[in-house]
Amino acid sequence: MIHPPAEREQGWQRAAELEPRSAAEEPEVELYRQVYAAVRAAPLPEAPLGFAARMEREALAQAERRRRVEAVEGWGVRLGLALLLALLLVSVAPWLLPRLGGWSFEAPWLPVLGSGAALGLWSLVERRRVV
């Protein structure tokens, strides 16, 4: 196989592509063949036996842990937001409710009940969305 001089001089042919163009080139080509042979024969570590199966077990276990953490984080965020909402309602309701309908505020548990109901509704909607 003959290569254009420019390509040969670049020196990135593989061993199988190296052919001497003349008898004078033979020692040089033989040198490069030795180099390629050495590169291919150089020891390289291999994955230990059973590596693939072990990686599958570890990856699946990690994915399961991730799902659990995400689920807990999801509920943590929802719970935090619900508590904030309840706090807001408890703070605002005594001022807001009488102005909305002339309803005097005498039941402090009402906003808490309301926020609890809102949280329940939200959870149901979320659950339907996820499923």
Partner 1 sequence: MMTDDQRLVAAVRAEEPGAFARLVDRHQKLVWHLIYRMVGHPEDTRDLCQELFLRVHQRLPQFRFDAALGTWIGQIAWSLAARHLRKKRLPLVDLEPREGEETSPALEIRDQLDLEAELERSEGLRLLAVELEALPSLPRTLVTLYHVDELPIAEIAQITRLPAGTIKSQLFRARKTLRDRLVKVLGERP
Q: 17, 19, 20, 60: which one contacts partner 1 (CB under 8 A)?
A: 60
Q: Which stretch binds partner 1 (CB under 8 A): 7-15, 79-87, 102-110, 114-122?
A: 7-15
Tell me how far apart the alpha carbons of residues 99 and 101 are, in angstroms, rounded to a whole number: 6
Q: 23, 38, 49, 100: which one contacts partner 1 (CB under 8 A)?
A: 38
Q: 17, 19, 25, 28: which one contacts partner 1 (CB under 8 A)?
A: 28
Site for partner 1 in 92-131 (CB under 8 A): none
Indicate the Cα dihedral angle 67, 73, 74, 79, nearest 10°.
150
> How many C-beta atoms lie closer than 10 Å to residue 127's C-beta?
9
Q: 17, 19, 25, 30: which one contacts partner 1 (CB under 8 A)?
A: 30
91 part of the interface to partner 1, by CB under 8 A: no
Q: How many residues bind partner 1 (CB under 8 A)?
A: 36
Q: Which contacts (CB < 8 Å, 24+ apart) does range 15-18 have? A: 15/40
Side-chain-side CA neighbours of 71 within 13 Å: the count stands at 8
58 part of the interface to partner 1, by CB under 8 A: yes
In the chain, which ranges are continuous DSSP H helix? 5-10, 26-41, 51-101, 109-130
Q: Which is nearer to partner 1, 15 or 110 (CB)?
A: 15
52 part of the interface to partner 1, by CB under 8 A: yes
